């Protein structure tokens, strides 16, 4: 049975599909399954494998779906007492502990803009375990020689590529193009998409102008609140390398659930790195 679960984990990682692995890690007394029994749970409710059935498996199933969303592991303890026996028909009388582990593929980072900040961010992010895609319309900047470790380097009109490309819901997108017009065009193609992270570089004034333009286009304010802008953590960054570090720090914080979507009013008070 576990072989089937392991195969499902491999396929989920290959497809870039998040899931949660549920494993019995300890038992005392009589239990329906032994230590090591596994079950893989997907966000849409699909399951592969079993940890024994009954009410405790159902509880673990829902906890696993929560773990897919909040990306936090959890250790659960179950008493297989008379109430359990009455509900399931299983006479056990033991105890068991179950570990729930979110399974995520390597995070996909789309760097929109291959200039100075994008260059350093792509390299730093690769070292931090992100699978990096770089998109720019300038072959001088977007090429394999500058980004040898990128999973993909796209040299094409940015909004055209974005409009026709389906980005994964677990994807991280950083907009660091060479100018206000290019950033706005990219954001028009990205705002409102279901993404783990969407960030925009620029001053507070520039971000406000882009937000005004997006609202005029009919983008809902609630969707704008999910944009991380101005981008990056406030570490006093000045150089392109420092700004890239501040952006990567924010990406890592989002990855580990330390930062979620933030209110645009809060963001308007946030430090903004200079446009480079």
Q: Are 243 and 203 in contact (CB under 8 A)?
A: no
**Spatial distance between the Cα atoms of 124 and 122, rounded to a whole number of angstroms:** 6
Beta sheet of 74-79, edge-to-edge order: 47-49, 38-42, 19-28, 95-103, 74-79
Q: Are 90 and 70 in contact (CB under 8 A)?
A: no
**Spatial distance between the Cα atoms of 45 and 19, rounded to a whole number of angstroms:** 10
pLDDT in tens, 219-266: 888 888 889 999 999 999 999 999 999 999 999 999 887 876 443 334
Structural fold of domain 108-267:
Rossmann fold (3.40.50)
Q: Are 125 and 197 in contact (CB under 8 A)?
A: no
**Spatial distance between the Cα atoms of 151 and 99, rounded to a whole number of angstroms:** 33
The pair of structure tokens assigned to 75 is 């250790």
What is the SS3 assignment for 240? helix
Residue 233: φ, ψ to 5°: -80, 150
User: What is the reported pLDDT for 220?
Assistant: 87
Sequence ranges of the domains in the chain: 2-103, 108-267
The pair of structure tokens assigned to 38 is 């596994």
What is the enclosing helix (H) or strand (E) of 119? Answer: helix 116-127
What is the enclosing helix (H) or strand (E) of 172? Answer: strand 172-175
Burial of 217 (0-12, 13-18, 19+ CB in 10 A): exposed
Residues of the chain with pLDDT under 70: 1, 81-93, 260-276
**Spatial distance between the Cα atoms of 149 and 128, rounded to a whole number of angstroms:** 12
pLDDT in tens, 24-38: 999 888 777 889 999
CB under 8 Å to 236, separation ≥6 — which residues?
A: 242
The pair of structure tokens assigned to 252 is 């890592």
């Amino acid at each position: 049975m576990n072989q089937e679960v392991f195969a499902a984990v491999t396929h989920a990682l290959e497809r870039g599909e998040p899931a949660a692995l549920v494993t019995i890690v300890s038992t005392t007394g009589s239990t329906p399954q032994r230590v090591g029994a596994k079950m893989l749970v997907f966000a849409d409710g699909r399951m592969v494998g079993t940890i024994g059935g009954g009410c405790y498996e159902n509880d673990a199933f829902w906890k696993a779906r929560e773990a897919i969303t909040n990306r936090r592991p959890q250790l659960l303890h179950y008493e297989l007492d008379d109430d359990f026996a009455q509900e399931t028909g299983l006479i056990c009388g033991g105890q068991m502990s179950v570990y729930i582990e979110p399974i995520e593929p390597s995070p996909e980072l789309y760097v929109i803009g291959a200039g100075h900040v994008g260059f350093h961010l792509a390299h730093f992010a690769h070292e931090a375990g992100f699978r990096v895609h770089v998109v720019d319309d300038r072959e001088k900047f977007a090429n394999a020689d500058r980004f040898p470790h990128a999973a993909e380097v796209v040299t094409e009109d940015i909004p055209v590529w974005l409009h026709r490309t389906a980005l994964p819901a677990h994807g991280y997108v950083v907009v660091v193009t060479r100018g206000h017009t290019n950033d706005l065009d990219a954001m028009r193609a990205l705002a409102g998409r279901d993404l783990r992270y969407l960030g925009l570089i620029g001053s507070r004034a520039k971000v406000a102008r882009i937000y005004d333009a997006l609202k005029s286009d009919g983008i809902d304010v609630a969707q704008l609140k999910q944009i991380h802008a101005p981008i990056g953590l406030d570490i006093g960054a000045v150089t392109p390398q420092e700004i890239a570090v501040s952006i990567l720090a924010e990406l890592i914080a989002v990855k580990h659930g330390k930062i979620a979507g933030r209110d645009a009013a809060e963001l308007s008070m946030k430090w903004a790195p200079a446009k480079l």
